[in-house]
Chains A and B, each alone.
Chain A
Amino acid sequence: MTTATTTRTFDLADADVRELNAALHDPSCEGQHFRVLNPRGRHALAVGAVAHAIVDIEGHAGYYCAGMNQHAEIRVHGNAGVGVAENMMSGTVVVDGDASASAGATAHGGLLVVHGSAAARCGISLKGADIVVRGSVGHLSAFMAQKGRLLVCGDTGEALGDSIYEARLYVRGKVRGLGADCIEKEVREEHRAEIAELLHRAGISDISPEEFRRYGSARRLYHWNAEHHQSY
């Protein structure tokens, strides 16, 4: 995390989420540090940030924390609800605990790190962001994932990468099942370098890039064909 010069504290026991978000929508907050106390699972915390601010949410966050983030470094010192970092464009979002469903959904850019596990549909419709999950992910993760990378240090649920496009998936543990058109692929040197880079950016140093397998699209669903029998 970057070092900030000014710290602003929003104690949500008294302050409103609106005040926090309004402050994060002011481009002049660039470089400032925001402490968010008593989040108590509030929804839409630190959404739509526009500048490189540093935000520490000191507790659990509700739905859509860090949604549509641009540039900000946001850390949840707890668990995050549905859709953390949904449609993120850039910046970094770190969840120290677990993340609920649809973590990083449709995210276009930036990095989402979940140090615990993420529930179903992690990285659904991913559009270019990177997601690193230290634990496991639930079913239908990377469903229709278009671009970007999902790295899972633990296991995955069923239907991983269902109807996937060009996103790249790396899994260290057990894959319970692959979705339509998702296949295991060879791990080449450039992929090992990519895995190492993702682990490094996520601050994970005790796992070897050699332990991951790669999954991606067989590209059999790229052109409409009756032979597919409604498999998508």
Chain B
Amino acid sequence: MRESATFDRETIAEIQRAAREGIYDIRGGGAKRRVPHFDDLLFLGASMSRYPLEGYREACGTDVVLGDRFAAKPLHLDIPITIAGMSFGALSAQAKEALGRGASACGTSTTTGDGGMTPEERQSSETLVYQLLPSRYGMNPDDLRRADAIEIVIGQGAKPGGGGMLLGQKISERVAEMRDLPAGIDQRSACRHPDWTGPDDLEIKIGELREITDWQKPIFVKVGASRPYYDVALAVKAGADVVVLDGMQGGTAATQEVFIEHVGIPTLAAIPQAVEALVELRMHRKVQLIVSGGIRSGADVAKALALGADAVSIGIGALVALGDNAPELDDEYRKLGSAAGFYDDWHEGRDPAGISTQDPELAARLDPEVGGERLANYLRTMTLEAQTIARACGKSHVHNLEPEDLVALTIEAAAMARVPLAGTSWIPGSGRDV
């Protein structure tokens, strides 16, 4: 027997599923296909020509200031790892509270999502970024002023150019009330903002938000990675304080599988283009760049920063830290037709971990204090890992990491990240050796 490389088992199963169900597959998470990623990069470390810092003694800073271009009150975070926008609705109130607790314990920020700001979230989050999305669910000027920063969402990495869908089983009375919709119906989120189109309008929109918030709050602009060179330049031109760039591995609560896997570009490919735009505009480190999409470890953090990001954002990793896909829930995942480590039907609202659900009994399984502690542990570990690498490269602050510290393991990663192929001085596509 010979398996077809074109019609492999997975492809055949998907054709059979489509023929049976007559509808595309919807799931949560980000791209699962193998793409060039941070795993394809290595740090060189110090040796004769570079002095390392003492790993357990010498200081290595991790703080970051976000939004000091125009805002009177920029964010001062202790670590360069923030929590990405995830909605109350997609997540339970307990999960949102746990994210706030974990982030606050480590001196970093959380972000609301497509559904408004809950009191629990505001209370538990020392620093909270409030998203302004096309749907404007739950948007109001009081919460704008209660927020510490505002993030205008143009797109996300899992679905650049796409809107959203929250299926009726997750539209509880509370979620419905916050979104001004009837309970129990499938809720759609638009893909375009209702009151502006294009970068010139965006500039005026940002001006309005600054006026409403008396020029106090940093304004982020979030884009899904597709044409980051142009999108970042236009966001800067429109007056953003911070640009958030989300690669295709970034998660979603519910999107078509075909969209997740076939639209957008990998995080690794997106960062150098974004940094190039910032450098050309002389705005690198003045307009901060937050990168998300597939950040899992301190090594990923260090690599993103070395490529020029100011901070990173995590979503899926944070949910896993809270208890998503925990092995002790394997029996329950299997009852749902999945298994621990594979569960991605977050849109169905039946999450046994109590995270991506609005079922009160399931949601009550997640203790926000315990979840918050687990997230804080994860964030601390990632920070220590990033510091370990930075010290090994002789850096007294994680922001001092630079592309010169990196090499790539594959030609593709070298071309995308614009760093030399390991053991060579070749950067494919650059037209030059280094």
Contact = CB atoms under 8 A, between A and B. Distances in A.
B140 A124 contact: no
Interface in B289-344: none
Contacts of B230: none
Nearest to A107: B136
Interface of B, helix, strand, loop or mixed by DSSP: loop
A217 to B, nearest CB: 10
Contact of B144 (A68, A101, A224): A68
Interface stretch (B38-46, B80-88, B184-192, B426-434): B184-192
A223 B188 CA distance: 10
Nearest to A124: B194
B195 A127 contact: no
B180 interface: yes
Contact of B195 (A106, A146, A226): A106
A166 B182 CA distance: 8
Interface stretch (B93-101, B208-216, B356-364): B208-216
Nearest to A163: B188
Nearest to B132: A87
B181 interface: yes
Contacts of B186: 221-224
B35 interface: no
B185 A82 contact: no
Interface stretch (A4-12, A31-39, A42-50, A186-194): A42-50
Contacts of B172: none
B19 to A, nearest CB: 12
B136 A127 contact: yes
B195 A222 contact: no
A64 B140 contact: no
A82 B165 contact: no
B422 interface: no
Given A87-B139, A124-B195, A44 B204 contact: yes
Contact of A82 (B195, B207, B213): B195
A68 B212 contact: yes
B312 to A, nearest CB: 31
B205 interface: yes
A108 B141 CA distance: 11
B74 interface: no
Contact of A128 (B180, B185, B201): B180
B22 A226 contact: yes
B48 interface: no
A22 interface: yes
A102 interface: yes
Contacts of A222: 168, 182, 185-186
Nearest to B182: A166
Given A146-B180, A147-B180, A232 B188 contact: yes
Nearest to B145: A48
B180 A224 contact: no
A159 to B, nearest CB: 14
Contact of B185 (A22, A47, A48, A223): A223
Nearest to B190: A144
A87 B194 CA distance: 10
Contacts of B135: 125
Nearest to B210: A44
B23 interface: yes
B168 A223 contact: yes
A83 interface: yes
A180 to B, nearest CB: 11
A86 interface: yes
B182 A165 contact: yes
B175 to A, nearest CB: 13
Nearest to A224: B186
B51 interface: no
B273 to A, nearest CB: 30
Given A21-B211, A106-B195, A124-B194, A64 B22 contact: no
A166 B168 CA distance: 15
B211 A48 contact: yes
B181 A106 contact: no
A63 interface: yes
B164 to A, nearest CB: 12
A82 B211 contact: no
B139 A64 contact: no
A148 to B, nearest CB: 9
Interface in A81-119: 82-83, 86-87, 89, 101-102, 105-106, 108
A209 B195 CA distance: 30
Contact of A83 (B185, B188, B195): B195
Contacts of B211: 17-18, 21, 44, 47-48
A111 to B, nearest CB: 17
B165 A121 contact: no
A179 to B, nearest CB: 13
Given A25-B214, A108-B180, A224-B165, 8 more contacts: A21-B211, A44-B208, A63-B208, A86-B194, A87-B136, A125-B135, A125-B136, A223-B186
Interface of B: 21-23, 135-136, 139-141, 144, 165, 167-168, 179-182, 185-186, 188, 190, 194-196, 201, 204-205, 207-208, 211-215
Interface of A: 17-18, 21-22, 25, 43-44, 47-48, 50, 62-64, 67-68, 70, 82-83, 86-87, 89, 101-102, 105-106, 108, 121, 124-125, 127-128, 143-144, 146-147, 163, 165-166, 221-224, 226, 232
8 contacts: A17-B211, A18-B215, A43-B207, A50-B141, A86-B195, A108-B140, A121-B195, A125-B190
Q: Considering the complex of A and B, which 6 residue pairs feature the smallest CB-CB distances, nearest first? A: A48-B212, A83-B195, A226-B23, A106-B136, A222-B185, A102-B195
